[in-house]
């Protein structure tokens, strides 16, 4: 005999390796059954972390994400992370308890309605359909690349319902939009005629594994390439790549991009950050966009090709009438830039006038210290500019910016746990602010317990500096934007990590020694940086906000 929860676990097990969870009355039987099925269970300490860890597990490994929480309060604690996963097109199954089939108890809420409100479908299992319903949920998560909820009503979770039998085949429907051959041919002709072509790849290129074909396309037309912040290093050949575009980009490289006459945008939505609030491309540039969305996502787009990103890029490559039409020296201009310091950034002044560290100097020194096998996980906040501009990225899965789609902070610590499960052989480096770090503090315990080898970099400026730099300048009361000097090194030590408070650049030597010793464990570097050094990308945001 086996329970409804065991049927759910049995249907899930062929599709997942890992599940991240917090246990409660609503999912106790499920977790037990998943473990019995051989699925690896990782405990996190806050339910937001269950989804955040699973989401980062997918982003880093490409494998289906799974999380679990109990009903009611456990479920509602997951919502912010769940919105992020759904909007970031992460195939994720969240299994939760739910109100009994007999109706809500005083501590229940209408969970399916909350799911509907955030655009995430709920698949509620019954006594006799748990296997089929769970399989349908997995099918939707994968076919639509989205998050789904499997809900187990409280009164059926532990009911014995007999042998689950073999789960039905997944039979994934092909949801790729049909390619318009004329649109492909026109895009290919336009690209082939370009004198200074530029190919910009975004996360859609990473998600569909388009890196190789985009590399061939760039080679065929003689294009300069670049990426959005979430697709760094997707092009296999770095020689003609200007790296990240937008506010994290290098000034001269962005000037080069502005000189492009034809731009091919692949799997990038062209948001305000990528486009530098509209300034990335020259006014005369023709902009071709390949995306699976219904329509072009930006007014600058002059030609839209709808399709699966990798498939459409391949079709454009196949349809090229000529090869290598670009201006002599166009691609080589990237090499010149590289010689002149494309990958070097302002080294900072060591110390800022307020006696705290210049974050640019810390970022520069950390770029030397951090091991090359790293997977960087970055939470959100003003500090994101430092890791993104100063630390090279070896492959797309080695830099994960979490929370970007929903613009949420506070998912960094549990995301590091998911990345560690995805890449156990790598050093996991978390880049977090003090604000986001405190929001997710419960899962510092999970990081110390679960990350085999990791470094937690806290950009500790005693402030919500994204706010200080914007609203502080406008004269709003600073007090709510400030945070006391929190001792993250002490917090780390209390939970079993090694750590250092970093007040001078020399204080980073202990981290360098630790990295050199190649020891396992987690090292918390509590970097006391100055809030007065504002990142260039943030200046762009401030300028755009004040021109409105």
Of 339 and 407, CB closest to ligand TPP: 407
Contact 65, 137 (CB under 8 A): no
Residues lying near ligand TPP in the complex (CB under 6 A):
380-383, 407-410, 433-436, 459, 461, 463-467
Of 71 and 383, CB closest to ligand TPP: 383
CA 168: distance to chain centroid? 32
Of 201 and 439, CB closest to ligand TPP: 439
- 206-242 per-residue burial string, b: 16 or more CB within 10 A, e: under 16: bbbebbebbbebbbbbbbbbbbbbbbbbbbeeeebbb
Contact 477, 445 (CB under 8 A): no
Structure tokens belonging to residue 4? 């409804």
- The residues that bridge with 203 in the sheet, in sequence order, are none
CB of 289 to ligand TPP, least distance (A): 28
Of 13 and 81, CB closest to ligand TPP: 81
CB of 438 to ligand TPP, least distance (A): 8
CB of 405 to ligand TPP, least distance (A): 12
Among 485, 475, 494, 477, which Cα is nearest to 531's? 485
CB of 502 to ligand TPP, least distance (A): 16
**Cβ-proximal residues to 412 (8 Å cutoff; 6+ apart), any chain:** 377, 378, 379, 402, 403, 430, 431, 432, 436, 437, 440
CB of 417 to ligand TPP, least distance (A): 18
Contact 389, 248 (CB under 8 A): yes
Sign of CA dihedral 21, 23, 26, 28: positive
Of 342 and 534, CB closest to ligand TPP: 534
CB of 381 to ligand TPP, least distance (A): 3
The DSSP code for 328 is T
Of 407 and 547, CB closest to ligand TPP: 407
CB of 296 to ligand TPP, least distance (A): 28
Of 357 and 463, CB closest to ligand TPP: 463
Nearest 5°: phi and psi at 3? Answer: -85, 165
Of 272 and 510, CB closest to ligand TPP: 272
Q: Which residue is nearest to ligand TPP (CB)?
A: 433
CB of 455 to ligand TPP, least distance (A): 17
Alpha carbons 27 and 9: distance in angstroms, whole number? 11
Of 192 and 376, CB closest to ligand TPP: 376
What Rg do the C-alpha atoms of the chain give, in angstroms? Answer: 24
Alpha carbons 141 and 451: distance in angstroms, whole number? 27
DSSP state string for 183-221: HHHHHHHHHHT-SSEEEEE-HHHHHTT-HHHHHHHHHHH
CB of 61 to ligand TPP, least distance (A): 25
């Amino acid at each position: 005999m086996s329970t409804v929860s065991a049927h759910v676990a049995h249907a899930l097990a062929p599709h997942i390796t890992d599940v991240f969870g917090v246990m409660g009355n609503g999912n106790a039987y499920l977790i037990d059954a998943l473990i019995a099925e051989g699925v690896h269970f990782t405990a996190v300490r806050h339910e937001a972390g269950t989804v955040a860890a699973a989401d980062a597990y997918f982003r880093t490994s490409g494998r289906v994400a799974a999380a679990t929480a109990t009903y009611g309060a456990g479920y509602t604690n997951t919502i912010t992370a769940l919105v992020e996963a759904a909007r970031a097109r992460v195939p994720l199954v969240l299994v939760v308890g739910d109100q009994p089939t007999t109706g809500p108890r005083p501590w229940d809420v209408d969970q399916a309605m909350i799911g509907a409100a955030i655009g995430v479908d709920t698949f509620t299992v019954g006594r006799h359909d748990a296997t089929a319903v769970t399989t349908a949920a997995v099918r939707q998560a994968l076919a639509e690349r989205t998050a789904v909820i499997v809900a187990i009503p409280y009164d059926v979770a532990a009911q014995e319902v007999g042998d689950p039998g073999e789960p039905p085949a997944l039979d994934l429907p092909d949801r790729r939009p049909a390619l318009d051959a004329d649109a492909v041919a026109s895009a290919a002709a336009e690209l082939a005629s370009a004198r200074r072509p530029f190919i910009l790849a975004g996360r859609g290129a990473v998600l569909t594994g388009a890196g190789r074909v985009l590399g061939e396309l760039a080679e065929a037309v003689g294009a300069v390439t670049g990426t959005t912040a979430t697709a760094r290093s997707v092009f296999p050949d770095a020689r003609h790549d200007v790296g990240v575009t937008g506010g994290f980009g290098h000034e001269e490289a962005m000037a080069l991009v502005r000189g492009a006459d034809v731009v091919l945008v692949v799997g990038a939505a062209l948001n305000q950050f990528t486009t530098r609030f509209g300034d990335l491309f020259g006014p005369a540039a023709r902009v071709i966009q390949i995306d699976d969305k219904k329509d072009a996502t930006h007014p600058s787009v002059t030609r839209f090709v709808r399709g699966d990103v990798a498939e459409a890029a391949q079709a454009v490559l196949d349809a090229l009438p000529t090869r290598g039409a670009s201006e002599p020296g166009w691609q080589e201009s990237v090499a010149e830039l590289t010689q002149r310091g494309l990958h070097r950034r302002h080294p900072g002044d060591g110390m800022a006038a307020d006696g705290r560290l210049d974050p640019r100097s810390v970022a520069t020194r950390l770029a030397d210290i951090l091991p090359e096998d790293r997977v960087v996980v970055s939470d959100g906040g003003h500090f994101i500019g430092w890791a993104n501009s100063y630390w090279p990225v070896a492959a797309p899965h080695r830099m994960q910016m979490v929370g970007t789609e929903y613009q949420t902070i506070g998912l960094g610590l549990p995301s590091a746990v998911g990345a560690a499960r995805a890449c156990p052989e790598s050093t996991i480096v978390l880049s977090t602010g003090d604000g986001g770090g405190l929001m997710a503090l419960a899962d510092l315990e999970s990081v110390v317990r679960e990350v085999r080898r990791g470094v937690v970099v806290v950009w500790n400026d005693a402030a919500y500096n994204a706010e200080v730099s914007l609203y502080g300048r406008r004269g709003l009361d600073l007090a709510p934007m400030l945070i006391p000097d929190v001792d993250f090194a002490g917090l780390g030590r209390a939970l079993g990590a090694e750590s250092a408070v970093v007040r001078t650049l020399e204080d980073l030597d202990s981290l360098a020694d630790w990295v050199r010793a190649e020891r396992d464990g987690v090292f918390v570097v509590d970097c006391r940086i100055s809030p007065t050094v504002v990142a260039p990308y943030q200046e762009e945001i401030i300028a755009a906000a004040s021109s409105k």
